[in-house]
Structure 1
Amino acid sequence: MPIATVNPASGETLKTFDALGAEEIEQRLATAHAAFRQYRLTGFDERARLLNRAADLLEQDAPDIARTMTTEMGKPVAAARAEALKCAKSMRWYAERAPELLADEHPSDADVKDSGASRAHVRYRPLGVVLAVMPWNFPLWQVVRFAAPALMAGNVGLLKHASNVPQTALYLEDLFSRAGFPTGCFQTLLVGSGAIEDILRDPRVAAATLTGSEPAGRAVAAVAGDEVKHTVLELGGSDPYIVMPSADIERAARTAVTARVQNNGQSCIAAKRFIVHEDVYDAFAARFTAGMRDLTVGDPLDESTDVGPLATEQGRADLEELVEDALRRGATALCGGQRPAEVEGGWFYAPTVLADITAAMRIHHEETFGPVATLYRVSDLDEAVALANDTPFGLSSNVWTEDAAEVDRFERDLEAGGVFFNGMTASHPALPFGGVKRSGYGRELSGHGIREFCNITTVWHSA
């Protein structure tokens, strides 16, 4: 895939970039390694000062970088501005809380004595250079939720961003540089995916984090495993959205629309499979379908647009294949199911609701990365849980119920990294984020996220 800005609303190539050569990659690796040897010695106050300055700049830049993101990957510009501001908020959160999250831990006096020590504690020390392989769908947020905690912990970062968001990737390097971070603390590598293995195998790279597809995660994990390097993987999701009879159906249906089409439907944590109890199925389906049908599809730079284009032409083709396979095998399109007639050019796809889904259809097992929802009818809680777990993924889940017993059961039995009740999945710096099964391993955000790239060091002194 060429490194280029291609406007998904028109298909026009706006700017292309040359990939870094071997000498340039080596120079950046050497710079990162040297930067870590000094940056690791800085204190939390200095790191916080720099990160807060980056947050200030990002807030000032939000309107411009939002337009850049929208032009590169097609998200509605209002959502792009919100993403930039969320990143600034996360930076401030880690700047304030890192000292507490990474404070030395002290065992009880009794345990210290029992270990034969006069004193002992646990210290969190940075690992070193962390390689981040990031996707295009949240081109700022995916990076910042790694970079903010990693930098506050004393690590330095190398970013290999998706090839279709190069201007956003370069902006991030410039942002941290303008904020005053020492040279080499955060660098963007404009390289293709073929360069990742050699970079990850370099002994100066201590660890890696990847958000992206399952095949990409497998590839990075295999190399890191061979090199015995720590990784965090956040991969795909096919999140269930379960609606039980006690739910507020009007609010559940309204929220479901947003949960499905956020980011033009291109979100790992977007609700994708809507599992509805038969007692409220018809009412929910009618409201949900009407809400999806009423969305405005069009120019993502228009403030009134709800759904913009898919980020890539191949992404739309993949989505169309899943829908066409389902329709051939007996699914019913309650709305959508094709490219929107009202929009010319670009990689648009109409918001779609498919019913009568069976296990014979690819869409039952595969992730739909676009504004396409699958609708299921179930007869009881047991069937809802079984269907929700009938997926290779386990990123997050959504449940609508006012029944306390049902809450306990879903919280206990859903196979996912998160269970969100009476609302939609969202990420926040205070809450750990990640999945199970083929959705990956490790956690981002919260104290769990900042400690992922730390050397958890036992310090023991003889009695």
Structure 2
Amino acid sequence: MTLTKTALAPEVAAIMGRLGVSADRYTGGTLAVTSPVNGEKIADAAQISSGDASDVIAKSHQAFLAWRLVPAPKRGELIRLFGEELRAHKADLGRLVSIEVGKITSEGLGEVQEMIDICDFAVGLSRQLYGLTIATERADHRMMETWHPLGVVGIISAFNFPVAVWAWNAALALVAGNACVWKPSEKTPLTAIAAHAIFDKALKRFVAEGGQAPAALSQLLIGGRDVGEVLVDDPKVALVSATGSTAMGRIVGPKLAARFARAILELGGNNAAIVCPTADLDLTLRGVAFAAMGTAGQRCTTLRRLFVHDSVYDQLVPRLIKAYGSVTIGNPLETGTLVGPLIDKGSFDRMQKALADAKANGGTVHGGDRVHEADAPNAYYVRPALVEMPAQCGPVEHETFAPILYVMKYSNFDDALELNNAVPQGLSSSIFTNNMREAEAFVSARGSDCGIANVNIGPSGAEIGGAFGGEKETGGGRESGSDAWKGYMRRATNTINYGASLPLAQGVKFDVE
């Protein structure tokens, strides 16, 4: 491992320079930024005060008033240009994601590809914001629904997907006619600054080519919790889409409800998979390993609970344990690494506590130990942990944002379905089976109660075309594809009288002479 010899700050400065970001945005500020790759401080980002944040939101509201008048296909042209700029700067932004978050190279680049994909989706969507024509009981009348921009959309993103989640929201919100204000995680300000610089390039091109767009159309708030609270509390913010922990969601949700604002909450997911007797075990092994260990277990769609039928348990689990022991853990910037670091010491400590609790509840732990401590004492690399549990209890019922997979036996399919649904979290789920009845039951009304229910693929790997969300603990919320755009717009029903009379209640007359 070449960790202590790697100087990342100069590379960060070079990337920022190529993206046109001035040094005062990430040097000399009060927010220290460290890389989980080796614990090195790579920047001191400038932060905004809560008072200035209110001014930013006010400017965003004024931008919305202008942008809502731009025809939707023209708004889509801006997002098309944004997609072009992302393609041009994919390598730099993907590399910065890896440096700031610790994702392996393919995952850093893959996150930027998701941004590109949602731009493609949103460009087409800009010509498809359809409303219905509705049959009416009145003669010489027509009834229809129309969709209109909502207002200022606040976006709060988490560290684990520092740029893709913003793009999922912003691309749809902007083609819908809204203005955006983005508050990224305090752990990942650099990727936010970089992504926003790329958007600014697209905005300048759009205006230079004759487009009409206000400068404050999309804005960035770098700061702490107090800045996030301003975004949540400001009455000019019509919708807040927040991604993060359930603890954060329990604070944000009630505040938005108190002022009747909209919320899209994408929070934790204690995701499960069921392995049935007919499952293709080679396919299952690959699917489980990727879903459970990818991104060092720091995905909201990470596989955390695995229910294996007792007839195949002894065939699958030893192979999984072997895979866990042989996976390459190390510098995510180096070729061949499959598992990078945890984001920080807090994540490591929470992982170790969960493993201790699992042992106290009768679990057998394989892996979970810290590695490369001598090479990188300020970074936190761990071997992914597979924990054989006697039952779904203790830490299994709570999400730990780390690479821990709890494995349990089952013998009855209906019992496995019940276990899948027995935790309050419900973002994603999957089943591995070649039995059509089991597969269909899993995706039916009596099956998985999660927002995502997959067959013969892990719970992770969501695509842009399908809306992401439906987490049951928070009442749901959908972003990205499908009809998620409706969440960023308001609907009106219109009745048009093209006749000469107005239907009145029987016997009602007016003397108009």
TM-score per shorter chain, which class? over 0.9
Aligned 8 A contact 1:434 1:440 in 2 = no
2:485 alignment partner in structure 1: 450
Question: Given the alignment, which residue of 110, 123, 129 partners 1:95?
Answer: 123
SS of the counterpart of 2:431? strand
Aligned 8 A contact 2:73 2:126 in 1 = no
Aligned 8 A contact 1:137 1:267 in 2 = yes
1:460 alignment partner in structure 2: 495
Letter in 2 for 1:366: H
Compute the displacement of 1:344 (Å): 3.1
* Count of paired positions: 455
SS of the counterpart of 1:428? coil
Q: What are the equivalent positions in structure 2 for 1:116-155 lying under 5 Å apart? A: 118-155=141-178
Aligned 8 A contact 1:70 1:77 in 2 = yes
Question: Given the alignment, which residue of 279, 283, 292 partners 2:315?
Answer: 283
Alpha-carbon spacing, 1:160–1:208, altered in 2? closer, same or farther (3 Å)? same
Q: Does 1:432 align with 2:460?
A: no
SS of the counterpart of 1:427? coil
SS of the counterpart of 1:233? strand
Question: Given the alignment, which residue of 51, 58, 65 partners 1:30?
Answer: 58
Higher relative CO (Cα under 8 Å, sequence separation at least 6) belongs to 1
Letter in 1 for 2:367: G
2:385 alignment partner in structure 1: 352
Deviations 1:326-349 (A, max 9, x none): 12332112x312112587321111
Deviations 1:219-245 (A, max 9, x none): 111110111101111111111111101
Letter in 2 for 1:272: R
Q: Does 1:156 align with 2:184?
A: no
SS of the counterpart of 2:238? strand
Tell me the distance in 2 between the aligned counterparts of 1:357 and 1:123. Answer: 54
1:319 alignment partner in structure 2: 351
SS of the counterpart of 2:63? helix
Letter in 1 for 2:187: N
Q: What are the equivalent positions in structure 2 for 1:334-413 lying under 5 Å apart? A: 335-340=366-371, 344-345=375-376, 346-361=379-394, 363-412=395-444, 413=447
1:66 alignment partner in structure 2: 94
1:330 alignment partner in structure 2: 362
Compute the displacement of 1:277 (Å): 0.4
2:286 alignment partner in structure 1: 254
Letter in 2 for 1:347: Y
What's the C-alpha RMSD, in Å, of the aligned pairs?
1.7
Q: Does 1:301 align with 2:333?
A: yes
Tell me the distance in 1 between the aligned counterparts of 2:323 and 2:139. Answer: 66
Aligned 8 A contact 1:237 1:269 in 2 = yes
TM score, norm. by length of structure 2: 0.85
Deviations 1:367-425 (A, max 9, x none): 12122111111012022112111211111101011111112221222111111000123
Q: Does 1:75 align with 2:97?
A: no
Compute the displacement of 1:178 (Å): 0.8
Compute the displacement of 1:21 (Å): 1.9
Q: Percent identity?
A: 27
Question: Given the alignment, which residue of 409, 415, 418 partners 2:452?
Answer: 418
**Which structure 2 residue ranges, 5 or more long, are not aligned?**
1-29, 204-212, 500-513
Letter in 2 for 1:423: I
Aligned 8 A contact 2:341 2:381 in 1 = yes
Question: Given the alignment, which residue of 197, 217, 224 partners 1:185?
Answer: 217
Tell me the distance in 1 between the aligned counterparts of 2:75 and 2:155. Answer: 20
Alpha-carbon spacing, 1:376–1:439, altered in 2? closer, same or farther (3 Å)? farther
Tell me the distance in 1 between the aligned counterparts of 2:434 and 2:138. Answer: 49
Tell me the distance in 2 between the aligned counterparts of 1:172 and 1:7. Answer: 18
Tell me the distance in 1 between the aligned counterparts of 2:234 and 2:472. Answer: 29
Alpha-carbon spacing, 1:117–1:339, altered in 2? closer, same or farther (3 Å)? farther
Tell me the distance in 1 between the aligned counterparts of 2:268 and 2:308. Answer: 23
Compute the displacement of 1:59 (Å): 1.3
2:131 alignment partner in structure 1: 104
Alpha-carbon spacing, 1:206–1:439, altered in 2? closer, same or farther (3 Å)? closer
SS of the counterpart of 2:143? strand
Greater displacement, 22-31 / 162-171: 22-31
Question: If you compute each CA radius of gyration, which structure gives the higher value, 1 or 2?
Answer: 2
SS of the counterpart of 2:180? strand
2:506 alignment partner in structure 1: none
Aligned 8 A contact 2:373 2:380 in 1 = no
Tell me the distance in 2 between the aligned counterparts of 1:341 and 1:173. Answer: 34
TM score, norm. by length of structure 1: 0.94
Tell me the distance in 1 between the aligned counterparts of 2:386 and 2:426. Answer: 22
Compute the displacement of 1:193 (Å): 1.2
Compute the displacement of 1:117 (Å): 6.2
SS of the counterpart of 1:438? helix
SS of the counterpart of 1:397? strand
Tell me the distance in 1 between the aligned counterparts of 2:235 and 2:418. Answer: 45
Tell me the distance in 1 between the aligned counterparts of 2:126 and 2:464. Answer: 12
Aligned 8 A contact 1:235 1:440 in 2 = no
Greater displacement, 249-258 / 42-51: 42-51
Tell me the distance in 2 between the aligned counterparts of 1:119 and 1:449. Answer: 27
Aligned 8 A contact 2:53 2:227 in 1 = no
Alpha-carbon spacing, 1:186–1:116, altered in 2? closer, same or farther (3 Å)? farther
Aligned 8 A contact 1:254 1:291 in 2 = no
Tell me the distance in 2 between the aligned counterparts of 1:116 and 1:125. Answer: 27
Aligned 8 A contact 2:53 2:230 in 1 = no
Deviations 1:300-334 (A, max 9, x none): 1112110000112111111111012212332112x
Q: Does 1:57 align with 2:85?
A: yes
